[in-house]
Amino acid sequence: MITVVIPLYNKAPLIGRTLDSVAAQTYTDYEVVVVDDGSTDDSPEIVAGHKFSTLNSKLKLIRQTNAGVSAARNRGIVEAQGEYIAFLDADDEWKPNYLATQMALVEKYPQCDVFATNYEFRDEKGIVTPTLIRKLPFEGEDGELTNYFEVASCSHPPICSISIMVRKSVIESVGGFPIGIKSGEDLLTWARLAARYRIAYSKEVKAVFYVEGYKMSEKPKRVPAEDDVVGKELETIAQTFHPQHIKHYISHWHKMRSSIYMRLGMRRESLREAVYGLKSHPGNYKLYLYIILNFIPKKLRPF
């Protein structure tokens, strides 16, 4: 059986659509655990009153005081009865054969413990943008993702929080999702899994990630955490497990932080992150560009 874990916080307009996509799955041996993380809107009432009787018999709603998305997911892991756990966010959705595709990967790649599919971005107008996934190590529609950190360093994330299924024992072995990290907690979890376990991957798009309209020129909504816990943990993974290309991935992480700081006008912090990134991977040419852009007046920058 699969346990579908959905963390929920103030998604009243969207959670019904998400649950509809679960109810429409062609693979039916699953349960749904929705963890309401202290919502202040009608989200839990919408879940409790969901009209699909086929889903109601499979659905468990758990309420807790607000503790963050990692805590909500971890509570769902504890409550899960299934051998496998599939994660889904409360404002996204799956295509009808998502779970069937994941179980096909389980059968085809029994040596793997982590399973993922491709996904797409969709905005509020319904415009779809495909992911850009480079350097996959296989030619067919699916295969084993043996170079996760290389792919993740030069692509959209090959794994995201709505496109992964994992054995319960395996997600428990890495401690679930880290608490107290406001950004990057999911990326750190995937890195911990990729360093220890084998991943089966399907190129087929089976999940839909809804995004707000966003442009590079827009000011980021969140300042990166001053204490870079994710970066430190990635270094620990590198020193402990020595996975291939993780230094490239660490450099990529610092590049993302440098970009955010630069767009916020925090030049010193942006330069610091660029230097950290170059120490991990001197060939990350974009970081040299970021250093140059930090010394160009903001009105003259391309973004």
* Rg of the chain, C-alpha, whole Å: 20
Residue 290 has a CB neighbour count (10 Å cut-off) of: 22
DSSP H or E run through 208: strand 199-210
Residues of the chain with CATH 3.90.550.10: 2-210
Q: What is the pTM of this model?
A: 0.94
> Per DSSP, what are the bridge partners of residue 128?
122
Query: Is residue 157 within 8 Å of 187, Cβ to Cβ?
Result: yes
pLDDT for 146-184, tens place per residue? 999 999 999 999 999 999 999 999 999 999 999 999 899
The maximal CA–CA distance of the chain, rounded, in angstroms, is 60
What's the CATH number for 2-210? 3.90.550.10
Could you tell me which residues come within 8 angstroms of residue 118 by beta carbon, excluding any fewer than 6 positions away? 131, 133, 158, 163, 201, 202, 203, 204, 205, 206, 207
144 SS3 class: strand
DSSP designation for 149:
H
pLDDT for 185-216, tens place per residue? 999 999 999 999 999 999 999 999 999 755 54
> Per DSSP, what are the bridge partners of residue 59?
32
For residues 77 and 6, give the distance between their C-alpha atoms in angstroms, rounded to a whole number. 10
HSE toward the beta carbon, residue 220, CA cutoff 13 A: 15
Task: Give the Å distances, CA to CA, from 50 to 30, 44, 47, 230, 232.
Answer: 17, 10, 5, 37, 42
For residues 162 and 207, give the distance between their C-alpha atoms in angstroms, rounded to a whole number. 7
pLDDT for 122-133, tens place per residue? 998 899 999 999
- Which tokens hold the place of 230? 């994710």
DSSP designation for 186:
H
For residues 131 and 118, give the distance between their C-alpha atoms in angstroms, rounded to a whole number. 8
For residues 37 and 147, give the distance between their C-alpha atoms in angstroms, rounded to a whole number. 35
pLDDT in tens, the chain (303 residues): 999 999 999 999 999 999 999 999 999 999 999 999 999 999 999 999 886 656 667 899 999 999 999 999 999 999 999 999 999 999 999 999 999 999 999 999 999 999 999 999 999 889 999 999 999 999 999 999 999 999 999 999 999 999 999 999 999 999 999 999 989 999 999 999 999 999 999 999 999 999 975 554 567 878 999 999 999 999 999 999 999 999 999 999 999 999 999 999 999 999 999 999 999 999 999 999 999 999 988 777 665
> Per DSSP, what are the bridge partners of residue 207?
94, 119
For residues 276 and 228, give the distance between their C-alpha atoms in angstroms, rounded to a whole number. 12
Q: What average pLDDT does the structure give for the chain?
A: 94
